[in-house]
Amino acid sequence: MANLKEIRTRISSVQKTKQVTAAMKMVSAAKLKKAQDAIVQIRPFADKLHEILSNLTGSLTNSDDNLYGVERRPEKVLLVAITSNKGLCGGFNANVIKQVTILAGSTYYEQYQRDSLHVLAIGKQGFEILKKTYHVVGEHNHVYDNLSFENVSAIATSVMKEFVEGKYDKVELVYNQFKNAGVQILTTEQFLPVVQPEEDLNNQTEYIFEPNQEEILGELIPKSLKTQFFKAMLDSFASEHGARMTAMHKATDNASDLIQDLNLTYNKARQSAITNEILEIVSGANALSS
């Protein structure tokens, strides 16, 4: 059995760890509220805009102006892996990295073998791991310093430009979709080309273009794509804080349980030490009396 000093040192160490995890839980809870409000507010708008975009793209299949809906054989693929800059959030980052690995080993195995599968890493945690195995073409860790539509749209614009220029034939987003503080849904979402959902192929909405079709294509489609990208970032950001809050809550509970066990061990060791001292005193007294 460990001596009393070692147990006291261990208890003190776990108590300090508990204070840190409890503080991190409170910080994440505060940030989660703001991030959750942001994703809840933008999600209906983004979903409706994406629905319009899908219908619009479906009705313009034969148009040369439909630059973002051109379907090509996926010879060159870009995976946008959205993780976080910080850790201590459970399996949040690991799940995204694992999904990229699964896609590289199955759906896009041929492209991976030809070095035609590239990864755009958003978040330091994903970048540090993915760069060791995959062809990472860029990182955008700075975007979390100010997660605004303007900063995110700049990344989306760059990706859209590369697709139009033919650098990539397909672009997919891999991120955690926010459901609630305790649940994050790992999502792989096709970003480009824009395709119409199969269930809507026979139920297309007819639109009256005002002022004209060219201006609609030039304004609505890029804006919708940028909004879709921004929604994915907000989803991931809210999921990160939810995952970290949950992880720190569990860590705090585990620390409390460990402290309780250590206190029990300490009391048993202290009781045993006192018993031994009493026995030594009694034995000494008996020896003197004899």
Reply yes or no: is the peptide bond before residue 211 cis, omega within 30 of 0: yes
d(CA 288, CA 282): 10
Structural contact between residues 81 and 97, judged by C-beta atoms closer than 8 angstroms: yes
Asked whether residue 203 carries a pLDDT value surpassing 60, the answer given is no
pLDDT at 140 over 60: yes
User: Does some domain include residue 268?
Assistant: no
Residue 78 lies in a domain: yes
pLDDT of amino acid 269: 86
| Percent of the chain clearing pLDDT 90 (strictly above) | 66
DSSP labels for 179-241? EETTEEEEEEEEEES----GGGTTSPPP---SS-HHHHHHHHHHHHHHHHHHHHHHHHHHHHH
Contacts for 106 with CB less than 8 Å, ≥ 6 apart: none
Q: Provide the token pair at 129.
A: 């791991």
* 270 lies in some domain: no
254 part of a folded domain: no
**How far, CA to CA in Å, does 62 sit from each of 66, 171, 235?**
8, 21, 34
Q: Is residue 10 part of a domain?
A: no
Is the residue at 4 inside a domain? no
Written as one string, the DSSP assignment of 93-119 is HHHHHHHHHHHHHTTTHHHHHTT-EEE
Helix 213-289 vs helix 92-105: crossing angle, to nearest 10: 120
Looking at residue 282, what is its pLDDT?
80
pTM: 0.85
Q: Which residue type is seen at 168?
A: Y
What percentage of the chain's residues is helix, strand, coil (to nearest 5)?
65, 15, 25
Tokens of 44: 């209906």
Residue 61's pLDDT is 47
- Is 84:252 a contact under the CB 8 Å cutoff? no
Residue 188's contacts (CB-CB under 8 Å, 6 or more residues apart) are 99, 103, 172, 173, 174
Model confidence at 53: pLDDT above 90: no
Quote the domain boundaries for residue 226. 23-248
In a domain, 282, yes or no: no
Please tell me which residue, 164 or 3, carries the higher pLDDT value: 164
Q: Which of 49-58, 71-80, 272-281 has the lowest mean pLDDT?
A: 49-58
Distance, in Å, from the CA atom of 68 to the CA atom of 63, rounded to the nearest integer, reads 11
Catalytic position from the list 89, 194, 217, 234: 89
Of 51, 82, 38, nearest to 229 (Cα)? 82
CA-CA distance, 281 to 289, in Å (whole number)?
12
Is the residue at 14 inside a domain?
no
CA angle 95, 44, 27 (to 5 degrees): 50
Residue 195 designated active-site? no
Number of domains in the chain: 1
User: For residue 218, what is the domain's CATH number?
Assistant: 3.40.1380.10
State yes or no: pLDDT of 50 exceeds 80. no
pLDDT at site 162: 96
Q: Token pair for residue 227? A: 């909004």
Give pLDDT, residue 220.
82
Across the range 118-124, mean pLDDT stands at 96
Q: pLDDT tens digits, residue range 245-267?
A: 999 999 999 999 999 999 999 99
